[in-house]
Amino acid sequence: MLNVSNNNRIDNKKLERFSSIQLLNKEKHYKILNKILLGFVLFTVLFIFLPWTQNISGSGAVTTLKPNQRPQTIQSLISGRIEKWYVNEGDYVKAGDTILFISEIKEDYLDPNLVENTKNQMNAKEDAVASYEGKVGALDSQMGAINSERNLKSQQAKNKIRQALLKIKSDSMDLEAIKTQIKIANTQFKRSVQLNKEGLKPLTDVEEKRLKLQEIEAKIITQENKLLSSENELINARVEISRINAEYSEKYSKAQSDQYTAQSSKYDTKAQVNKLENQYNNYKIRNGMYYIKAPQNGYVNRALKSGLGENIKEGTPIVSIMPAEYDIAVETYISPNDFPLIQKGEKVRVWFDGWPTIVFSGWPDLSYGTFGGKIVAVENFISDNGKYRVLIAPDSAEQKWPKQLSIGSGAQTMALLDNVPIWYEIWRTLNGFPPNYYQPAKEKNKDVSEK
Residue 411 has pLDDT above 80, yes or no: yes
Sheet strands side by side (includes 311-312): 291-293, 98-103, 80-85, 311-312
Parent domain of 403: 51-68+326-450
336 and 221 housed in the same domain: no
Residue 1 pLDDT grade (very low, low, confident, very high; cuts 50, 70, 90): very low
Report the CATH number that the domain containing residue 218 is assigned in CATH.
Answer: 1.10.287.620
d(CA 93, CA 324): 9
Contacts (Cβ under 8 Å, ≥6 apart) of 201: 192, 195
Q: Which helix (H) or strand (E) holds 33?
A: helix 28-47
Q: Give the best-scoring range by mean pLDDT among 188-192, 254-258, 415-419.
A: 254-258
- Among 31-45, 188-202, 406-420, the minimum mean pLDDT is found in 188-202
- Residue 425 forms part of a structural domain: yes
Compute CA 97 distance to the chain's CA centroid, rounded to the nearest angstrom.
27
Residue 161 lies in a domain: yes
In a domain, 24, yes or no: yes
- The closest alpha carbon to 53, from 427, 362, 415, belongs to 362
Q: What is the pLDDT of residues 37-50, one digit of tens each?
A: 778 878 777 777 76
Among 245-254, 347-356, 441-450, which stretch is predicted with the lowest mean pLDDT?
Answer: 441-450
186 and 309 both lie in a single domain: no
**Predicted confidence band of residue 362 (pLDDT cuts 50, 70, 90):** low
Q: How far apart are CA 327 and CA 313, in angstroms?
A: 34
Q: Which residues, other chains included, contact 52 with Cβ-Cβ below 8 Å and sequence gap of 6+?
A: 362, 363, 419, 420, 421, 422, 424, 425
Q: Which residues contact 190 (CB under 8 A, 6 or more apart)?
A: none
Claim to verify: residue 89 and residue 118 sit in the same structural domain: no
> What pLDDT shows up at residue 346?
81
Q: Is the pLDDT score of 446 beyond 50?
A: no
* Rounded mean pLDDT, 300-322: 86
Q: Do 315 and 280 share a domain, yes or no?
A: no
Count Cα neighbours of 338 within 13 Å in the Cβ-side half-sphere: 21
Mean pLDDT across 270-278: 90
Say if residue 75 is in the same domain as residue 63.
Answer: no
Residue 210, Cβ neighbours under 10 Å: how many? 15
Closest CA to 312 of 38, 85, 136, 35: 85
CA-to-CA distance for 144 and 83, rounded, in angstroms? 64
- Residue 53 has a pLDDT of 64
367 and 311 co-located in one domain: no
DSSP string, 260-318: HHHHHHHHHHHHHHHHHHHHHHHHHHHHHTTEEE-SSSEEEEEESS-SSS-EE-TT-EE
Check residue 96 and give left, alpha or beta (phi > 0: left; psi -120 to 50: alpha).
left
pLDDT tier for residue 324 given thresholds of 50, 70 and 90? confident
Predicted pLDDT at 17:
65
Where residue 83 sits, what CATH number does that domain have? 2.40.50.100
- Tell me what the mean pLDDT of segment 386-393 comes to: 88
Asked if residue 68 lies in contact with residue 323, where contact means CB atoms within 8 angstroms, the answer is yes
Shared-domain flag, residues 310 and 370: no
Question: What's the rounded mean pLDDT across residues 399-404?
Answer: 83
**Does position 14 have pLDDT exceeding 70, yes or no?**
no
Same domain, 172 and 260: yes
pLDDT at 448 over 50: no
Q: Is the pLDDT at 451 greater than 50, yes or no?
A: no
Lowest mean pLDDT, pick from 26-30, 147-151, 217-221: 26-30
| Domain co-membership, 344 together with 278 | no
Specify the pairing of strand 388-394 against strand 80-85. unpaired
**d(Cα 91, Cα 407) in Å, to the nearest integer?**
17
Whether residue 2 is contained in a domain is answered as no
Q: Which helix (H) or strand (E) holds 375?
A: strand 371-378
Using pLDDT thresholds of 50, 70 and 90, give the confidence band for residue 444.
very low
4 has pLDDT over 60: no
The tens digit of pLDDT for each residue in 49-85 reads 766 666 677 788 888 888 888 888 888 888 888 888 9
Mean pLDDT for all residues in the chain: 78
> Does one domain contain both 299 and 267?
no
The predicted pLDDT at position 450 comes to 46
pLDDT over 70 at 433, yes or no: no
If asked whether residues 119 and 252 sit together in one domain, one would say: yes
Q: Does residue 408 belong to any structural domain of this protein?
A: yes
- How far apart CA 344 and CA 48 sit, in angstroms, is 32
Give the closest residue to 89 by CA, choosing from 292, 316, 298, 327.
Answer: 298
Condensed to tens digits (0 to 9), the pLDDT of residues 212-226 reads 777 777 777 777 788
- 123 shares its domain with 212: yes
* Residue 1 resides in a domain: no
Per-position DSSP letters for 127-174, written without gaps between them = HHHHHHHHHHHHHHHHHHHHHHHHHHHHHHHHHHHHHHHHHHHHHHHH
For residues 124 and 108, what is the distance between their CA atoms, to the nearest angstrom? 22
How many domains does the structure of the chain reveal? 4
Nearest of 434, 266, 274, 422 to residue 339 by alpha carbon:
434
Q: What is the pLDDT of residue 315?
A: 85
H-run or E-run covering 244: helix 203-288
With vertex at residue 335, the alpha carbon angle to CA 333 and CA 336, rounded to the nearest 5 degrees, is 125
Confidence of residue 30 (pLDDT cuts 50, 70, 90): low
Domain CATH for 425? 2.40.30.170
- Distance (Å) of CA 49 to CA 43, 199, 359, 361, 423: 10, 185, 21, 17, 6
Could you tell me which residues come within 8 angstroms of residue 237 by beta carbon, excluding any fewer than 6 positions away? Answer: 157, 160, 161, 163, 164
Quick check: is 5 in a domain? no
Say what percent of the chain tops pLDDT 90: 2
Residue 405 has pLDDT above 50, yes or no: yes
Q: What is the pLDDT of residue 12?
A: 54
